[in-house]
Structure 1
Amino acid sequence: MKKVLSLRNRIGFSLIEVLVFITIISLFFITAVTITVFSLKNSKIQQYRILATRFAEEGMKWVKQEKEDDWQVFTLHDDSAGPGVSFCLNSLDWNTKTNCNGIYSLGPPNIFKRILVITNSGNPANSIKVNVTVSWLENSFEQKITLKSVLNLWE
């Protein structure tokens, strides 16, 4: 009779074995969820980076078209003697000579701002340095994409 009782007690798992198993499974699931959250966050950052690059390219194309339309009028936009003039290009016009005043209204989603800085080189201006910067806030940090170009009179 003693043998039968001792076999019955050995068939199941002990409490320690169950706790170890649950701990290992829990660690596996926590790691899987952490990796998934990190991947989703990283993909959102890359999505915003792609959109910002597209907006910067759009701004650069607009500036190049403005240069092609009339070089003389184009060179008049830098009326400073300093390091250049900033324009807020969220609406692709010359009416906003600011750096968007901290307003992020370009998009969708409306989280971007596009700033153009032009600097004349020479007098009369035979070339103009152009910087188009698109920025956005990501987790309270400002992220930026900048495109630079030099536009010449005879290009």
Structure 2
Amino acid sequence: MKINTQNSESGMSLLEVGVSVGVVVLVLIGLISAVTQATAAAQFARNKATATKYAQEAMEWLRGQRESSWTAFYDRANSTTYHMNCDLYVQTTWCNSGGGVIDDEFDIFDRQVTLTRSGITGVYNDDSVHIQVVVSWPQGSRTEDVILETDLTKWQ
């Protein structure tokens, strides 16, 4: 009778366990990275949409100011930058907060409006104002912005 001297126990060696753990760790790192990037992209999209809304809101408010009094509107077009970080829906006069951020749920947006007389002989008459609205916000380690520009003319 022969005696089998080989170890017949089956199982995983230490090397196999190490490789398995390494693969699991790499998969988890990949998943965490993908979720982090997706979250950052979603936050950027939300912030950009909000900034665009604030820029459009300022443009509409400025159109209303033009319609209520062209002379007063044109007199403000002296290349001054206004920090319009106020609620324009309830604002009846020009606000210039001198800095800060728009008071909203995020408290990160800065809205700047610059009005410039754009009366260039032969191109515009003297009754034209160039408007630039810039809404900026911090995004990670950089600053992002949305810029809207238009020219408003005396139409009445």
TM-score using structure 1 length = 0.83
Query: Is the Cα contact below 8 Å between 2:130 and 2:149 reproduced in 1?
Result: yes
Over the residues paired in the alignment, what is the CA RMSD in angstroms? 2.1
Measure how far apart 1:7 and its partner are: 5.8
Q: Residue in 2 aligned with 1:142?
A: 143
Pairs within 5 Å for 1:10-25: 11-25=10-24
Query: Is the Cα contact below 8 Å between 1:106 and 1:114 reproduced in 2?
Result: no
Q: Residue in 1 aligned with 2:35?
A: 36
Aligned AA (2:43)? K
1:70-121 CA-to-partner distances (Å, cap 9, x unmatched) read 212210112x3xxx1211111244242x7x33x1234221111111100112
- Aligned residues between the structures: 146
TM-score using structure 2 length = 0.83
Query: Is the Cα contact below 8 Å between 2:85 and 2:95 reproduced in 1?
Result: no
Identical aligned residues as a percent? 24
Q: Residue in 2 aligned with 1:70?
A: 69
Counterpart Cα distance in 1 of 2:12 and 2:119: 85
Return the structure number with greater helix share: 1
Pairs within 5 Å for 1:99-110: 100-101=98-99, 103-110=100-107
Counterpart Cα distance in 2 of 1:120 and 1:86: 13
Structure 1 pair 14–137 and aligned structure 2 pair: CA distance change class (3 A): same
Q: Which moved more, 1:20-29 or 1:117-126?
A: 117-126
Measure how far apart 1:154 and its partner are: 2.2
Runs of 4+ in structure 1 deviating by more than 6 angstroms, as ranges, are none
Q: Residue in 2 aligned with 1:6?
A: 6
Counterpart Cα distance in 2 of 1:2 and 1:12: 22
Measure how far apart 1:17 and its partner are: 1.0
Q: Residue in 1 aligned with 2:119?
A: 122
Counterpart Cα distance in 1 of 2:20 and 2:57: 56
Query: Could you list the runs of 5+ residues in structure 1 that have no partner in the other structure?
Result: none
Structure 1 pair 14–41 and aligned structure 2 pair: CA distance change class (3 A): same
Query: Is the Cα contact below 8 Å between 1:106 and 1:113 reproduced in 2?
Result: no
Provide the secondary structure at the position in 2 that maps to 1:6.
coil
Counterpart Cα distance in 2 of 1:60 and 1:122: 20
